Amino acid sequence: MEVSPFIVLREDAVLLQSYKDFVMSNSYLVVGLGNIGAEYAGTRHNMGFMVLDAWAEDSGVAFVSGRYGSKAEVSFKGRRFTLIKPSTYMNLSGKAVRYWMNETGIPLENLIVISDDLNLPFGTLRLRKGGSAGGHNGLTNITEILGTQDYARIRVGIGNAFSRGGQIDFVLGELDAEEKAQMPQICQRVIEGIKAFATIGPDRAMNVVNTRPRPASDQQSL
């Protein structure tokens, strides 16, 4: 019996769509928040940039400048991660997020945003599947542009060791020597948390990420 070419084409279209859905379900958009420019490099507000720079360096890939941000791509266990450092400055981060979501076709549930957080002690991490912006201008703009706060974010604590009225200078100030020494470990924990999010799911990943690491002195005493 002769098979109609229309049936073959339809089956091919279904298979192609299934493949595209599979690819998208295993693709993640990771946006590290920060401000572009040498004057902001290494500042507390640029935690997101620093994490993604570390990930790209560890993976042997480089960022390429594009519209509304620089992009790099890495992979892990069949998952593809598109890393974005917005070029819109912090307060307009939502423009970059919306553009790259549209550009890549990655769904909202596979978006992960990395931001700094004044309300957490330095180096403490918090992974959440959604929630308020907590006063963070970058997250506030993303929520406004996307029209929802239901997107994953990893907040990296920077502490609040500043006097009254000194918040802006503190956030836009460079890390001190002790903080810089901790950054490789912090970046690695964030990266591992994102990989866990993609491989074992957000709920189990939260159990991993949100556990405060034991101090090195305590580990040595075991």
Report, as residue numbers or ranges, the catalytic residues: 45
CA–CA separation, 59 vs 80, rounded Å? 13
Q: What count of residues does the chain have?
A: 222
CB 82 within 8 A of CB 104: yes
95: helix, strand or coil: helix
Contacts by 207-214 with C-beta closer than 8 Å and gap 24+? 209/125, 209/126, 209/127, 209/154, 210/125, 210/126, 210/127, 212/124, 213/123, 213/185, 213/189
Geometric angle at alpha carbon 19, from 13 and 23, rounded to 5° = 145
Structure tokens at 49: 């940039």
CA–CA separation, 115 vs 134, rounded Å? 11
Q: What is the identity of the amino acid at 86? A: P
CA–CA separation, 183 vs 175, rounded Å? 9
